[in-house]
Amino acid sequence: MLDRGERDSKQLEAAFAHLQKHGKYERHLAVADAVLFLRSGKYKEAIERLSTVPKGSAVREDALRYAGETLYHMDRKGDAEQVFRTLKAEFPDNTDASRWLGVIFYDLGAYDPAIAELETVISREPENFVPHQILGVIHTEFEAFEDAIKHFRNALERKPPDKPRNEIQLELARSLISNRQQPEAVKLLSALPESVERLQLEARCAYAQGQA
């Protein structure tokens, strides 16, 4: 959900071939190689390649960013957190560090630091829908449904792609129902593709309105 660094595989392969041809870019090649492993789910190989990039290298920032992502996908969230903390300390303007720390803190149930990191992302990337979506989910956990509704609506205003848009609309509908705004939820759900989740939420609305 937070993978801003994901690239088209053909572009990566072209970059990989170019770097192989020019041996002087050994560290760049290590990162490009690692990204290919990462996108293929070969996390151990990705970490091994990234570990060859020394501190002070011109590609240190990218190496840390992809190492953190790889460790996250290996379910080594504590290690990933430390890598992203290092990335943030060495490169304070790197938004990916705050993005991933926000996700990790959310996964660990550390909501206050998660909110702080996600608000940093929002301030730097105002058109990014993802931090608003996660903040909406966090406020749902707090049962602060009005705040959750605000963030889900903010996420939708940023025009996410169809799949996450449908997910956000369902999350918004849940919050509207929990906030006793069933008529708005019904209207929202009626425009969504039919699914088990939609039918369940419509049933909740009907029950709450005494129509079940």
| Cα angle, residue 57 at apex, residues 54 and 62 outer, rounded to 5° | 95
Domain 127-212 has CATH 1.25.40.10: yes
- Residue ranges covered by each domain of the chain: 1-125, 127-212
- Fold matches, 1-125 and 127-212: yes
* pLDDT, position 198: 96
* pLDDT, position 159: 97
Contact 152, 168 (CB under 8 A): yes
* pLDDT, position 160: 97
Tens-digit pLDDT profile for residues 53-90: 888 888 999 999 999 999 999 999 999 999 999 999 99
* pLDDT, position 28: 80
| C-alpha count within 13 angstroms, C-beta hemisphere, residue 142 | 17
Give 164's contacts (C-beta < 8 A, 6+ positions apart): 1, 129, 130, 133
Q: How far is CA 28 from CA 19, 55, 165, in A?
A: 7, 14, 36
* pLDDT, position 9: 58
Beta strands in 37-128 (DSSP E): none
- Which residues of the chain, if any, have pLDDT below 50? 4-5, 7
Query: What superfamily would CATH give domain 1-125?
Result: Tetratricopeptide repeat domain (1.25.40.10)
Tens-digit pLDDT profile for residues 186-203: 999 999 999 999 999 999
* pLDDT, position 77: 97
Burial class (CB in 10 A: 0-12, 13-18, 19+), 173: buried
